[in-house]
Amino acid sequence: MTILGWIGYAFVVIMTVLVCGALAMQLDLNAKAARRLIFSATFVVAIVAMLVMRWYFANTASGQRALTDQRSNLNNGIERTVTVYTANGDVIAQYEGKIDIAANDGGYIKFDFDGKRYIYYNCFVETIAALE
């Protein structure tokens, strides 16, 4: 699960505790009944939320992309081959290794490789990542 996924999970569980606590106060339950309500509801919501998030990250393409993106960010890139081409298809350069590519919409590609930053403008780039 991604870091943002864990934050969302914690938020749901904390909100469940707060809502159940407010409900217990509103219903004027004794301490034992209030604890039972809070524990039971939080347990059920926590299990259901965990199952839903586990399903999302294991069975959807966007969930798997999120895990791959986070793995790349935390490990300073992933093993991949980057090939840079001219407009007519000639290979300008090819890089292999642990590379982190910066996403952008500005007509260029930027990445760091072996301690150097590479920026290519107005060219075609093919990347093949080794996903595990």
Burial 27-50 (b: 16+ CB within 10 A, else e): eeeeeeebeebbeebbeebbeebe
The pLDDT tens digits for 26-37 are 888 888 888 888
Q: Which residues of the chain have pLDDT under 50?
A: none
Confidence at residue 1, expressed as pLDDT on a 0 to 100 scale: 82
Confidence at residue 130, expressed as pLDDT on a 0 to 100 scale: 76
- Token pair recorded at residue 97: 């290794």
Confidence at residue 36, expressed as pLDDT on a 0 to 100 scale: 87
Confidence at residue 132, expressed as pLDDT on a 0 to 100 scale: 65
Say what the pTM is.
0.67
Question: Which of 18, 127, 2, 123 shows the shortest CA–CA distance to 65?
Answer: 2
What are the φ and ψ backbone dihedral angles of 2, each rounded to 5 degrees? -80, 165
